[in-house]
Amino acid sequence: MGPILMLGAGRMGGALIAGWRKAGAFPLSDLMIRDPQAGDEAKAAVAAGALLDPDAEAMGRAKVVLLAVKPQLWREAAVEVAGSLSSDAVIVSVAAGVAAAQISQAFGGRPVARIMPTTAAAIGQGTASLYATDAAARDIARPLFEAVGAVVELEDEELMHAATAVSGSAPAYLYAFVEALEAAGEAAGLPAESARTLARATISGAAALLAQSGEEPSELRRQVTSPGGTTQAALDVLMGEAGLGPLLKNAVAAAARRSRELGA
């Protein structure tokens, strides 16, 4: 794959570094990191052989450039490094909402693959949506992210907005649900520590069962729902007219809308 230049090593970049290290995806001596505020994962990678803040000559050796800065900063990052890159470098972008054509133009017409990953890449259980019209960019990006999780290829770039809303942003939805469940447990009278343990262990166990059983979520839901029982009483609220269905539909629409705004 050749030397990889990572532009930005914040939460997402750090999660990718952690996942690649654990997977042994490539020698860390092949990784160059450009970030004025490198986090712990970046520092650990540097200690293991990665190069921090490479100069122009070093950046010119990069075959892959991973654009992992915040969407608001991507143009600035492109301006700073584009002139130092080799003509055959491939750009892999995780910048939400920013179109491949915009990125390619800013990087001198170089081929681009867009990726929307999740931070579970840090433990090898990430999910990434991939869009690329250039075969070389796709063939580089896919194995890079398959090393830390599952990859779904999209044929239409417009679908990246929906993928961002359904996958890239979704871990936060689950964490918010767990927070709310803990608070509801306390409101029902449970001690805070008991509510915390019950909510977190139950949700993580249910997620693991969904992943390993091969069953549809609707079937798993039916298996723990007795007609007229306690679970049914709760689901009557959660799946009512103002429940999870319309709430998540509106939430995903809002996230997709914001993704479009960030790329405008």
- Tell me how far apart the terminal alpha carbons of the chain are, to the nearest angstrom: 32
How far apart (Å, rounded) are the C-alpha atoms in residues 198 and 126?
25
pLDDT, residue 150, reads 95
Reduced to 3 states (helix: H, G, I; strand: E, B; else coil), residue 8 is coil
Q: One digit per residue, pLDDT tens: the chain, 264 residues?
A: 789 999 999 999 999 999 999 999 999 999 999 998 888 999 999 999 999 999 999 999 999 999 999 888 999 999 999 999 999 999 999 998 899 999 999 999 999 999 999 999 999 999 999 999 899 899 999 999 999 999 999 999 999 999 999 999 999 999 999 999 999 999 999 999 999 999 999 999 999 999 999 999 999 999 999 999 999 999 999 999 989 999 999 999 999 999 999 877
Q: Which amino acid is at 204?
A: S
pLDDT, residue 2, reads 80
pTM: 0.87
How far apart (Å, rounded) are the C-alpha atoms in residues 106 and 171?
30
How far apart (Å, rounded) are the C-alpha atoms in residues 60 and 69?
19
Strand partners, 7: 34, 67
pLDDT, residue 71, reads 84
How far apart (Å, rounded) are the C-alpha atoms in residues 17 and 64?
15
Angle formed by the axes of helices 192-213 and 170-187, nearest 10°: 140
What stretch of H or E contains 149? strand 149-153
Task: Give Cα 200 to chain centroid, integer Å.
Answer: 21
